[in-house]
Amino acid sequence: MQSFETTSRSTSDSVPMFMDGRVKFGVGLSNENLERHEELLCGACIHVSNISRFYQWNEELTEWRYIDDHQGFLAMVFDRCPDPICGLDFLDFDIYNPKQPVAHGNPRDIVWNFVPCPVKQEERIEYLICTSITCNQNDAKNQSLVQVLSHEHYFFSITIRNTRIPIRGVFVYYQEMYHQLKKENSWVWDFSLYDLHRGIDITFIDVENKEFHDHLNVSRGVMKPNYNGAIYLVSNLQN
């Protein structure tokens, strides 16, 4: 869940490496993939190779450029694929044209493997914070940051994005205790009432066991229309 409402590259408000074409596509993976490969969490990058038999893409969505040497491209894991066809090693690009619906499956002989994302040295880690009263609600665009911060929440989630490699675990320090957030499409708090106005003291660990420590000042966030009510924050942390 690195972005929402991906109807075209120009309107997705995704991470910089997706917007400028370093990463070509977003993909969904089945639960079987995500359970077997710990590193394949949301935000992970994968190299897709052996693409000589690839089909036609939706040009507006992908801004596809033909690759003469057929050496492949980078994609990013955006979410899980609940469709029954999404078994082991299936990639749900979700950008097929009418001549190649998802039900036809992967192109023949497709190969993919986990690789570090091509983050530039000066780029910063980003966060999307969702609450139960804003994210993916029909009236989400009518919610304001002031409303979100005006009361405590039993539930919120954090998407950590624009990272070089995926995050293995996330902890929030609250009321003199560390709480390990649950891993879903994003990292979920549902332990007790939480006052987001005070900010979030967060520690996260990537798959190379590097630790990051940050304070998320939620009151300085922005609620962008394309994020369905999520609060967007840019960190001071670099990869």
Share of the chain above pLDDT 70, in %: 73
Question: Given a cut of 50, is residue 1 above it in pLDDT?
Answer: no
Mean pLDDT of the chain: 79
191-203: average pLDDT: 94
Model confidence at 139: pLDDT above 80: no
Q: 48-52, 130-134, 169-173, 202-206: which range is least confident on average?
A: 48-52
64-74 pLDDT, tens digit each: 444 444 567 88
For 32-46, 144-158, 183-197, which range has the lowest pLDDT when averaged over its residues? 32-46
Distances (CA, A) of 10 to 129, 145, 163: 22, 25, 21
pLDDT at residue 211 above 50? yes
Lowest mean per-residue pLDDT among 24-38, 97-111, 149-163: 97-111
186 close to 128: Cβ distance less than 8 angstroms: yes
The pLDDT value recorded for residue 193 is 93
CA–centroid distance for 138 within its chain:
21
pLDDT tens readout for residues 168-181: 899 999 999 999 99
Whether the predicted pLDDT of 23 surpasses 70: yes
pLDDT category at 3 given cuts 50, 70, 90 is: low
Query: pLDDT tens digits, residue range 111-138?
Result: 888 899 999 989 999 999 988 877 755 4
pLDDT on residue 64 = 47
How far is 206 from 169, CA to CA, in rounded Å?
7
* Mean of pLDDT values over 9-21: 78
Arithmetic mean of pLDDT, 27-42: 73
- What does the pLDDT look like over 219-231, one tens digit per residue? 999 887 767 778 9
SS (H, E, C) the chain: CCCCCCCCHHHCCCCHHHHCCCCCEEEEECHHHHHHCCCCCCCCEEEEECCCCCCCECHHHHCCCCCCCCCCEEEEEEEECCCCCCCCCCCECCCECCCCCHHHCCCCCCEEEEECCCCCCCCEEEEEEEECCCCCCCCHHHCCHHHHHCCCECCEEEEEECCCCCEEEEEEEECCEEEECEECCCEEECCCCECHHHCEEEEEEECCCCEEEEEECHHHCEECHHHCCCEEEEEEEEC
Domains in the chain, ordered, with CATH?
A: 9-115 (2.40.40), 124-238 (2.60.40.760)
Q: What is the pLDDT of residue 174?
A: 93
